[in-house]
Amino acid sequence: MAYSFTDELVSCIPALHRYACKLTRDANAAEDLTQDCIARALSRSHRFEPGTNMQAWLTTMLKNLHFNNLQREKHMTKVELWDHAASVEATQLSRLVCRDVDRAFRTLTPCQRKVVKLVAIEGRPYQEAAEKLNVSIGTIRSRLCRARERLNTMMAA
């Protein structure tokens, strides 16, 4: 029987998915990670040496993908300005939403704008924002809370 890369790959998927579940601790993220790993393995099948351990090759690839995703997420700031935000497809609509967010942002007090900029936009830790603004962490939290409430109210109107 001839060697089949895809047959060997398919036989490794269950163990690969279990490992992804352990790494991500989230079933949906594990499925995405497993799928990304399989896609990468297929695109790099020419690098795999038949006769070597496919499971180890895939596991290493999956682990590296996971850690790369964690690093990427660390540098991305996730800002949730309002609940149930819909995805925007049309360019004109996205411009209107950006305009509305900008208007809502300008209604914040200067102190609230600074906190939102530091924490929510730049992704700085509360402690760093508190030191930069020379206030306590509690003040940072309360200003951020009031700013989010104000933004939610303005965006809902």
| Residue 125, φ and ψ in degrees, nearest 5 | -65, 155
Distance CA 43, CA 45 (A): 6
Render pLDDT for 22-50 as a digit per residue (tens, 0 to 9): 999 998 999 999 999 999 999 998 899 88
Render pLDDT for 93-152 as a digit per residue (tens, 0 to 9): 677 777 888 888 888 899 888 998 888 888 888 898 899 999 998 898 888 888 888 888
Ordered by where they begin, the domains of the chain are: 5-74 (1.10.1740.10), 91-156 (1.10.10.10)
Q: CB-based contacts of 142: which residues, under 8 Å, 6+ apart?
A: none
What's the confidence (pLDDT) of residue 84?
Answer: 55
